[in-house]
Structures are given as C-alpha cells and as structure tokens.
C-alpha cells in the first residue's frame, strides 16, 4: 500500500465522519447581497455606467457563511449570533430554515441592524459579471449588554452538545475575546476541553488559549506590524510569535495563490500548494470555507496536517466559484480522487 493511498484513505474517512460532528459557530452573521445589472449605456449626468437591474440574491456571509459551509459539508452546525429585525436578517433566517439549520441561537434585536454587504455587479447577458462597487451597511453600535448576555447563554447551551467551537470575529461584536473567555472559564469543563478554532479579522492577538487559528498572511502581517512577502524564514518566525503570544496548539496561515502553511507545536511546518488552478475566479468568503473545513476535520479527529490538507482542497474548490459559495462533502471526495495531498519541501 503506497503512502499516497494511505493518506487519501485516511482523509476520506475523516470526510465521511463529518455527519457525526457537531460544531457551534459563534460569529458575526453577515448578509451578502449581490445585485446584477446589465450594462445599458453611459450616463449623461456623470461618466458612469447605467445598469438595467436584472437579478438580486442574498446569501449568508461572514460567520453565517462559515455556518453555511459546515452545513454543506454535512456537519451538524449550531449558529450563535445577532441580527436585526430587518429584511436582510429575515432572509438569513429563511435561508437557515431552508437548510434545516437550528436558529434558536440566532438572536433578533430591534436595536441592532444586520450587517449587509451589497456588491453591485455589471456585465452583459452572456458575459462574466464584474464587481463595480461594494456598499457596506453596518450597525451603529455593537450588540447591547443584554444581547451579549443572551449570546453567551445560547453559546453555552449549544457547547454542551458540540465537538468544537468555531469563532468567526469580523469586528461587529457578536464574537469578542471577552465573550470567548467567559465561555472558557474554569468550571465549564465541556467548553474548556473543546477544540476552539478562531478566525479574527482585526484582533487576532487579543485572543489567548485557542486550539487553532486560521488567519491569512496580511492579517498576520497587520497583527505583528511586519512584511513577510516571499520570505520563508520571516513567515515561520511570524508564525512562532503568533503561536507563543496566543498560546495556540496549531496555526494555519492562508497565502492566496501560494496555498497555505500549517504549523503544529513540535512538528515541522507543512507548506501546502494551492489545489487546482491559480486562475482564481472569486475569493469572496474563501476564508470562511477554509475555517469550516479545517474545523470539521479537527472535530472528526484529524491531525493539524490532515485538517489543513482538507481545508486546502476546500479553498481551492471555492475560489473557482463566483460570489459567496460553499463546498460539499461530495466535492471534497471528488478532489481527493483528482489529486493526492502534496506538500512543498523547505
């Protein structure tokens, strides 16, 4: 039996175990809105295109996209987050209900507005669509103290039935270091012992004691105030600093077209080239797909390297799709058949 065959069989068993895994997602739930207009003409009022409205869709984004990806991977997912009493929030709830995702932890509050990112796309009927502009609608204030308390209670309840906790912090207040620390206080044995996988856009180093984190390279550079570029030594040094400061067991740094690198305490870093083509169609939400696959694999008992390989397959698949997209278990299994897992030597 060859090494590749053994690796593929092991990864296949991990994927097949996803339906037995339950993951709580504490995150900033975002509505990703896509509005498509067909190019009509140039306006007389200003040098801008006039678009004739053709389509509109609203799909889960941010932490809600991580939830959606876990659901499509077959994982039992329990989302916890805040939305407003508005149309985008209602559409997110409708989307989750359609996929049979539990919504008791998705808290609707009249004083809060659902984070909504509207992307205006332009093109001709049979041509590819190009994003023209993005409009972000964000709540004026973070969740209230009362709402934060309710988020804590909902997450604590879900964790009793979970195999892992995924934290998706986009900076809007549903997922914070203080809230995560409260969930991990001594005495809550179940929550403390669970794998905790973190994705934090702006305050990576404010979290401590997580099991793993999945930042992209620019986020690591911003957190440490450095520039890595293509310097392998700088990358490994930066990773070690992050691991030590956050007290992580493992770290997965995504690098766009350069793939990703997995760091595990006591092991040699694993440099994984991107799966598939580097002619990327759309990176929207790719980080959510990566952390979803990585968390699902860890929840199913994978090692850091095995989880990173599956996250790499998932990332390579999703960036070939337009818009905010997901990856299914079937697609992951098919990717395994296409190419065995590989690494780059250093």
Provide the 3-class DSSP secondary structure of residue 15: helix
Three state DSSP letters for 119-161 = EEEEECCCCCCEEEEEEEECCCCCCCHHHHHHHHHHHHHHHCC
Query: Which residue out of 32, 163, 169, 288 is catalytically annotated?
Result: 288
Cβ pair 291, 199 in contact under 8 A? yes
Cβ pair 242, 204 in contact under 8 A? yes
| Cβ count within 10 A of residue 222 | 14
Cα–chain center distance at 34: 19
Cα–chain center distance at 92: 16
Q: Which residues contact 299 (CB under 8 A, 6 or more apart)?
A: 21, 22, 23, 75, 163, 164, 195
- Catalytic, 72? Answer no
Element at 231 (helix H, strand E): none
Q: Which residues contact 233 (CB under 8 A, 6 or more apart)?
A: none
Instruction: Write the Ramachandran bin of 209: left for phi over 0, alpha for psi from -120 to 50, otherwise beta.
Output: left
The residues that are catalytic are 288
């Amino acid at each position: 039996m060859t090494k590749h065959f053994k690796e593929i069989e092991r990864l296949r068993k991990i994927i097949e175990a996803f339906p037995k895994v339950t993951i709580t997602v504490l995150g900033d739930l975002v509505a990703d809105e896509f509005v498509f207009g067909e190019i009509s003409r140039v306006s007389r009022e200003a040098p801008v295109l006039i678009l004739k409205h053709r389509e509109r869709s609203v799909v889960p984004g941010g932490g809600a996209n991580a939830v959606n990806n876990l659901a499509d991977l077959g994982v039992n997912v329990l989302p916890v987050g805040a939305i407003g009493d508005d149309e985008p929030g209602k559409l997110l709830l409708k989307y989750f209900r359609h996929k049979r995702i539990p919504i008791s932890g998705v808290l609707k509050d009249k004083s809060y507005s659902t984070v909504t990112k509207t992307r205006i796309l332009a093109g001709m009927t049979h041509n590819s669509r190009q994003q023209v502009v993005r409009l972000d609608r964000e709540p004026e204030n973070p969740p209230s103290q009362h709402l934060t308390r309710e988020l804590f209670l909902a997450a604590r309840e879900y964790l009793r039935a979970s195999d892992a906790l995924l934290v998706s912090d986009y900076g809007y207040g549903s997922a914070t270091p203080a809230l995560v620390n409260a969930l991990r206080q001594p005495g809550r044995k179940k929550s403390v012992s669970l794998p905790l996988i973190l994705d934090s856009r702006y305050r990576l180093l404010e979290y401590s004691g997580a099991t793993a984190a999945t930042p992209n390279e620019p986020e690591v550079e911003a957190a440490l105030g450095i520039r890595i570029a293509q310097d392998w030594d700088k990358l490994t040094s930066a990773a070690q600093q992050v691991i030590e400061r956050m007290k992580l067991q493992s770290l997965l740094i995504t690098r766009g077209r350069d793939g990703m690198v997995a760091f595990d305490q006591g092991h040699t870093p694993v440099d994984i080239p991107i799966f598939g083509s580097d002619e990327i169609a759309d990176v929207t939400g790719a980080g959510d797909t990566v952390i979803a696959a990585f968390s699902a694999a860890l929840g199913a008992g994978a090692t850091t390297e095995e989880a990173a390989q599956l996250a790499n397959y998932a990332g390579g698949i999703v960036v070939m799709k337009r818009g905010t997209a997901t990856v299914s278990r079937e697609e992951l299994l098919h990717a395994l058949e296409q190419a065995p897992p590989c690494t780059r030597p250093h």
